[in-house]
Amino acid sequence: MPILDWLNKNEAVRTVAKVPYRLLEPVADLSYGDPASENMLIQGDNLEALKSLIPLYAGRVKCIYIDPPYNTKSAFEHYDDNLEHSKWLSLMYPRLELLRELLSEDGVIFVNLDENEHSYQKVMMDEIFGRKNYLGDLIWKKRKGGGNDSRFFALDHDYIIVFTKNANKEIHPAKWRVSQTEEYLKRYKEKDEDGRRYYWDTLARDGLQNPILIELDCPDGDKITINSQKSLSTVLDGSKNGEVRFKKIKGKWAVHHKVYMPAGQVLRSVLDGVGTNKTANDEQELLFGDNPFDYPKPENLLQTIIELVTKPGDLVLDSFLGSGTTCAVAHKMGRRYIGIEMGEHAVTHCAPRLKKVVDGEQGGISEAVNWQGGGGFRFYRLGETVFDENGNINPSIGFGALAAHIWFMETRTPLEKKPDSPLLGVLRGTAYYLLYNGILGDRRPKGGNVLTGAVLESLPPHNGPKIIYGEATRFGQARLEAEGITFKQTPYDVRAL
Ligand SMILES: C[S@@+](CC[C@H](N)C(=O)[O-])C[C@H]1O[C@@H](n2cnc3c(N)ncnc32)[C@H](O)[C@@H]1O
């Protein structure tokens, strides 16, 4: 397969392995709402932040939307968009590798760009995600009306490159459907008590195939003959149960019936009517009183994307968060989310925006999804590195963080929950244990970190192979074999990912 090359690509390909593995530190003052909420807002460079998420969320994220700097060669207030071409490619390569690792097998990634880097990004993603997993490009119509650019033609659209982790038909069996485009919501503007959307369509029409002429009694006793496709009894039943109505328009009776919104129309590749740059600017002004961002995205665009590939409770990720649109929309749609933003606006805009959402903010898609408020999010910053420059474990690392790291290193799956004993879990018949920093109750740093007969007795039992991490073992090889134990020594056998 032909692949893309650029200056210093070799270095970009090696970047992920070299990125320090940091812990995420919660910041209570900037977090808000339900303390049990898993939603994360992380301030920091997304390369390090994504790496720190791997042990916790690898293979778990259902939908990734990113809207990275477009490389438009103009100075932006919030980030340096003037990265030269190679630097831009080197910025994206390792981040996309990590994003791919975080995606679930049926997960989908959407990358929003303009013509500056779109084609290069597509070829790079062929290499990282596999060409067969390319689902296509969506074209987002980002403005309406006749703006004039100083280019050969006025640019009305962005590209959204769409890849999945595994395009296997069994994993993605159905077509993607959308139901809530602006156009649809405008047309199906009435709502039943159970929330189903519909509009009133007239029953009498010219040009029907096989029309049925029926005579009806109007509420005031007038008679009306209509050219319908429904039989008299269906119309009379409908009139009784509210599916058909009589309405006097300009002195004449008309008969209407309800037409319900279909489960969804198949997604068209051109996303028109899901909000524009102008809609997004208006949303920002409503939220913040001004719009300090250059290219925020409208909530309706994110709603369309998230609705396509996720269900309530699924995990959504945006690692170039900007003003926080993806998280705000995911929150209102009942999805879990992780947002990463390195700028100070993570504190000044993203966190306040999400607080407003928790408090029931009514802009953007709130009315369409009947958003009433609730939930919460936790704010994080990047903390200490797990390993020092010589590869030794940082002595201040706690049991939970090291446990998550070792479990992921051994099994390539994230640890479900923080273990409350040295047993981290059992996978495919093998049990994994970690003896570290007093987990056995001895709070002295080294207490219980050595595998002895007494320590083995106190461990949760497992009938099968055991992998035990500890500082040292008092057992010889014969005893280890007899007990079915593979002993691994901290810190030497613990590797950075
Ligand atoms: C075009 S904006 C995203 C706009 C966003 N979709 C919205 O609706 O507001 C790109 C954002 O990515 C952030 N960014 C750029 N490089 C980053 C990095 N290495 N790590 C984290 N954030 C980064 C910038 O600070 C900027 O806020």
Task: For ligand 1, say whether the CB of 293 is within 6 Å of any of its atoms.
Answer: yes
Select from 71, 116, 285, 341 the residue to mutate for testing ligand 1; criterion: most ligand atoms less than 8 Å from CB.
341
Distances from the Cα of 163 to the Cαs of 135, 140, 325, 373, in angstroms?
Answer: 5, 16, 21, 32
22 CA distance to ligand 1 centroid (A)?
21
Cβ pair 328, 337 in contact under 8 A:
no
Burial classification of residue 175, based on how many CB atoms lie within 10 Å of its CB (0-12 exposed, 13-18 middle, 19 or more buried): exposed
Give 111-142 pLDDT, tens digit per residue. 999 988 999 999 999 999 999 999 999 999 99
Q: Which atom of ligand 1 is nearest to the CA of 297?
A: 8
In 3-state terms, what secondary structure has residue 181? coil
Q: Is 322 in the pocket of ligand 1 (CB under 6 A)?
A: yes
Relative to beta strand 103-113, strand 157-164 is antiparallel
Ligand 1 center from residue 342 Cα (angstroms): 7
In a domain, 24, yes or no: yes
Q: Could you tell me if 138 and 283 lie in one domain?
A: yes
Q: Which of 333, 361, 384 is the last residue of a domain?
A: 384
400 CB under 6 A from ligand 1?
no
Extract long-range pairs of 357-362: CB within 8 Å, 24+ residues apart.
357/328, 357/331, 357/332, 358/32, 358/33, 358/331, 361/287, 361/328
| 437 CA → ligand 1 middle, Å | 38
Task: Report if residue 333 sits inside a domain.
Answer: yes
DSSP tag of 132: G
69 Cβ below 6 A of ligand 1: yes
Would residue 273 count as lying in a domain? yes
Shortest-distance atom of ligand 1 to CA 320: 12
288 shares a domain with 207: no
Are 324 and 430 members of one domain? Answer: no
Q: Which of 89, 300, 342 to mutate to test the pocket of ligand 1 (most atoms within 8 A of CB)?
A: 342
Ligand 1, atom 2, lies closest to the CA of 322
State the DSSP string of 420-464.
SSSEEEEETTEEEEE--TTTTS--STTTT-EE-HHHHHHSPP-SS
| Structural domain span for residue 404 | 399-489
Regarding the beta carbon of 65 and ligand 1, being less than 6 Å apart is answered: no
298 lines ligand 1 (CB under 6 A): no
Q: Which two tokens stand for residue 168?
A: 């296997």
Is residue 26 in a domain?
Answer: yes
User: How many whole angstroms from its chain centre is CA 409?
Assistant: 24
Other C-beta atoms lying within 10 Å of the C-beta of residue 200: 16
Neighbouring residues of 14: CB distance < 8 A, sequence distance ≥ 6: none
Can you give the pLDDT at residue 182?
Answer: 65
Q: Is the CB of 323 under 6 A from ligand 1?
A: yes
pLDDT of 179: 63
Instruction: List the residue whose alpha carbon is closest to atom 3 of ligand 1.
Output: 322
Task: Give the E-state strand segments of 376-435 in sequence order.
Answer: 376-385, 423-427, 430-434
Question: Is 220 within a domain?
Answer: yes
**Domain end call among 384, 413, 442:** 384
User: What SS3 state is found at 118?
Assistant: helix
Structure tokens at 69: 């700097």
* 344-357 pLDDT per residue, tens: 999 999 999 999 99
Is 414 a pocket residue for ligand 1 (Cβ < 6 Å)? no
The residue among 379, 326, 331 whose CA lies nearest residue 358 is 331
Angle, CA 43 vertex, CA 40 and CA 44 arms, to 5°: 125
Ligand 1 pocket check for 70: Cβ under 6 Å:
no
Domain match, 82 and 130 both: yes
Considering 243, 260, 277, which residue would you say is the last residue of a domain? 260
Atom of ligand 1 nearest to the CA of 68: 10
C-alpha count within 13 angstroms, C-beta hemisphere, residue 31: 19
Specify whether 270 is located in the same domain as 173: yes
User: Ligand 1 centroid vs 285 CA: distance in angstroms?
Assistant: 19
Question: Is any ligand 1 atom within 6 A of the Cβ of residue 48?
Answer: no
Q: 260: left (phi > 0), else alpha (psi -120 to 50), else beta? A: beta
Cis bond before residue 422 (omega within 30° of 0) = no
Q: Are residues 166 and 294 in the same domain?
A: yes
- d(C-alpha 256, C-alpha 243), whole Å: 8
CB 58 within 8 A of CB 408: yes
Residue nearest to atom 4 of ligand 1 (CA): 322
- Can you tell me which atom of ligand 1 is nearest the CA of 91? 19
Is pTM, for the whole model, over 0.85? no
Q: What are phi and psi of 331, to 5 degrees?
A: -60, -50
Alpha helix (H) ranges present in 254-380? 277-288, 299-309, 325-332, 345, 351-358
CA distance 2 to 113: 22
Angle between helices 46-57 and 399-411 (to 10 degrees): 80
- Domain of residue 318, CATH code: 3.40.50.150
- Give the residue, by CA position, lying nearest to ligand 1 atom 7: 296
Ligand 1 contact, 78 CB (< 6 A) = yes
Best residue among 283, 299, 304, 321 to mutate for probing ligand 1's pocket (most ligand atoms within 8 Å of CB) is 321
Q: Are residues 366 and 479 in the same domain?
A: no
Structural contact between residues 154 and 147, judged by C-beta atoms closer than 8 angstroms: yes
Check whether residue 221 and residue 270 sit in a common domain: no
Ligand 1 midpoint to CA 224 (Å) = 62
The answer to whether position 2 is within a domain reads no
Integer CA distances (angstroms), 309 to 41, 88, 412, in order? 22, 28, 24
497 falls within a domain = no
Q: List 63's β-bridge partners, or say none.
A: 108, 316
Say if residue 286 is in the same domain as residue 166.
Answer: yes
Determine whether the shortest distance from the Cβ of 76 to ligand 1 is under 6 A. no
Q: Tell me, yes or no, whether 184 lies in a domain.
A: no
Considering just the CA atoms, what is the radius of gyration of the chain in Å? Answer: 29
Instruction: Measure 291 CA to ligand 1 centroid, in angstroms.
Output: 15
Q: Say if residue 86 is in the same domain as residue 58.
A: yes
The alpha carbon of 318 and the centre of ligand 1 are apart by a number of angstroms equal to 9
Give me the residues paired with residue 337 across strands.
316
- 140 CB within 6 A, ligand 1: no
Residue nearest to atom 27 of ligand 1 (CA): 322
Ligand 1 within 6 A of CB of 79: yes
Do 285 and 376 lie in a common domain? yes
325 ligand 1 Cβ < 6 A: yes
> How many structural domains are present in the chain?
3
Walk along the chain (497 residues) and give the pLDDT tens digit of each residue. 889 999 889 999 999 988 988 888 888 899 999 988 889 999 999 999 999 999 889 999 999 999 998 776 554 455 454 557 888 999 999 999 999 999 999 999 999 999 889 999 999 999 999 999 999 999 999 998 766 665 678 889 999 999 999 998 777 777 777 766 666 778 888 988 888 889 998 876 666 677 788 888 888 888 888 887 778 888 888 888 888 898 888 888 888 889 888 777 788 899 998 999 999 999 999 998 887 787 899 999 999 999 999 999 999 999 999 999 999 999 999 999 999 999 999 999 999 999 999 999 999 999 989 999 999 999 999 988 887 777 777 877 888 888 888 898 888 777 778 888 999 999 999 999 999 876 655 545 456 789 999 999 999 999 999 999 998 999 999 999 999 999 999 877 886 65
Query: For position 72, what pLDDT does the model report?
Result: 64
| Ligand 1 near 88 CB (within 6 A) | no
CA-based torsion, 80, 81, 87, 92: positive or negative: positive
Name the pairing type of β-strands 134-141 and 315-318: unpaired
349 and 408 inside one domain: no
- Residue 261: helix, strand or coil by DSSP? coil
